[in-house]
Amino acid sequence: MRFSGFDAKIIRTLFVLAITQVIGWGTVSLPAVIGRQVATDLDLDLSAVFAGSSILYVVMGLCSPLLTPAFAQTGVPKIMIAGGTLAALGFFMLSVSDGAVLYFIAWALLGIAGSATLTTAAYIMLNEVAGPSAKSAIGALMLVTGLSSSIFWPTTAFLSETFGWRGACLTYGAVMVFVCVPLYFFGLPQRSSASAQATLAAAVAATIPRKSTFVLMVIAIALNAFVTFGLAAVLIELLQAEGLPTSQAIAFGSLLGVIQVCARGLDFIGGGRWDGITTGLVAGAGLPLAMLLLIFGDATYWTIGGFILLYGLGSGALAVSRATIPLVFYDKAEFAKATSRIALPLNLISAASPPILVGLLTRFGSQALLGVATICSLAALLILFLLSRRRPSDVRDS
């Protein structure tokens, strides 16, 4: 399925979500760039600063299942408007933080906002608008959203150098108010009240069958997320530990988003011939190879470049896989409920990964971090293989 297969409504929705998802994920990646500045200014340990991201993921995970009826009854656009407004408040509070308490409260607000605006909400919106074309629509969205770090890591570095890290937070709060909220309000299609009631009834009635399959799916997704979300948060610190100066670490790290988009593009151009499980198997094989290259390499530019390439291709395609694996097993009504339930363990493990990985890095070095990432990647690959044997017959035979 290519863009020519999308009608005007889907294209408009994709346009709005692409911009707002890039901004949303790019702005909450602040600790990856300004973590040390914040730690020095607030007199916090670096692990505590990265714990802000952990709070974000925990709160997102806890709130996502609770928002399922609201998404169905009120409609995703209205929830996103409220979430964008709350995100602005979170960034403004972050900019005036004077210690750990206010800093962590700000991240909690950003977590509530994220549950209303980021990944889960976007996928539910696309599933409603695109229907049978949801996998292709999600893949198209990811072509752009994968650029969030490539765009916002250098942007955050520039803003923090020019205005300080507090000025960067103020700027991002203003972006939420003047860019994201108007796009949610004017750009996303609204549903009629009758459609909303029908959607609510379907969401409430939907069940999540095949519980053992669901558990395997959650474990595979969570293990890969532990590696990809955690490494995304600590990548600059990891590259510095491998011997790169800060400027080169940011430059190499910024290439990651471009490579991830290329990987997602290959899946999209393929026209949906691979389902989420097959994509996950192929992409998942790249992660342990990337880790092993950095473990046994000699930290030259070529080795680091090879690591970024393999890890970027693998993690980029895995992002598509995580979003589309549920489409293999669940119909439209079940998808929203399954996605919201997956969000809780997914965000909890994503919350745990940055402080765990940065703790491994600072206490035991890069080899320990890479070793744990390799084990998790291999375990996820094994579980994805088991899931491939459980495809519904109509999917397996297609």
- Contact between residue 110 and residue 180 where contact means Cβ atoms under 8 Å apart: no
- Please name the residues in contact with 139: beta carbons below 8 A apart, sequence gap of 6 or more: 264, 267, 268, 272, 320, 324
203: pLDDT confidence band, cut at 50, 70 and 90?
very low
Q: How far is CA 307 from CA 230, 244, 269, 286, 294, in A?
A: 16, 14, 24, 10, 6
What per-residue confidence (pLDDT) applies to 298? 75
> CA–CA separation, 171 vs 160, rounded Å?
10
How far is it, in rounded angstroms, from Cα 217 to Cα 208?
12
Instruction: Measure Cα distances from 248 to 31, 69, 207, 239, 253 in Å.
Output: 18, 46, 49, 9, 8
190, 75 in Cβ contact below 8 A? yes
Q: Tokens standing for 210?
A: 């095949």
Residue with tokens 């430059």: 251
What is the mean predicted confidence (pLDDT) over 342-360?
Answer: 82
Q: Which long-range contacts (CB under 8 A, 24 or more apart) does 35-40 make?
A: 35/237, 37/160, 37/164, 37/165, 38/103, 38/165
Higher-pLDDT residue of 93, 57 = 93
Pick the range with the lowest mean pLDDT from 72-86, 165-179, 355-369.
355-369
Whether 384 and 220 have beta carbons less than 8 Å apart is answered as: yes
Cα separation, 116 vs 137, in Å, equals 20
DSSP 8-state code for residue 283:
H
Greatest mean pLDDT among 16-30, 48-62, 274-288, 358-372: 16-30
- How does pLDDT run across 218-258, given as a tens digit for each residue? 899 889 889 888 888 788 888 888 888 888 888 888 787 77
How far, in Å, CA of 215 to CA of 221, rounded? 10
Task: Read off the pLDDT of each residue in 39-59 and give the average, rounded to a whole number.
Answer: 88
DSSP class of 180: I
Q: Is pLDDT at 205 greater than 70 in this prediction? A: no
Helix ranges restricted to H, the chain: 8-27, 30-42, 46-74, 76-95, 100-117, 119-130, 134-145, 148-175, 181-187, 193-205, 211-241, 246-269, 276-284, 286-296, 301-329, 332-364, 366-388, 393-396
Q: Are 308 and 256 in contact (CB under 8 A)?
A: yes
* Mean pLDDT over each residue of the chain, to the nearest integer: 84
Can you tell me the distance from the alpha carbon of 228 to that of 237, in angstroms, rounded to the nearest whole number? 15
User: Is the pTM here over 0.75, yes or no?
Assistant: no
Least confident stretch, 105-119, 201-215, 276-290, 303-317: 201-215
The torsion angles phi and psi of 220, rounded to 5 degrees, stand at -65, -45
- pLDDT for res 198: 52
CATH of domain 3-396: 1.20.1250.20
Tokens of 249: 């670490």
Cα angle: 147, vertex 172, 148; to 5 degrees: 5
Gyration radius from the chain CA atoms: 20
For residue 292, give the DSSP letter: H
Structure tokens at 125: 């919106």
pLDDT value at residue 398: 42
pLDDT of 278 reads: 84
| pLDDT tier for residue 53 given thresholds of 50, 70 and 90 | confident
Q: Tokens standing for 380?
A: 């996820």
Q: Where are the alpha helices (DSSP H) in 75-208?
A: 76-95, 100-117, 119-130, 134-145, 148-175, 181-187, 193-205
**What span, in angstroms and rounded, lies between the C-alpha atoms of 286 and 266?**
15
> Would you list the domain boundaries of the chain?
3-396
- 274-289: b (≥16 Cβ within 10 Å) or e: bbbbbbbbbbbebbbe
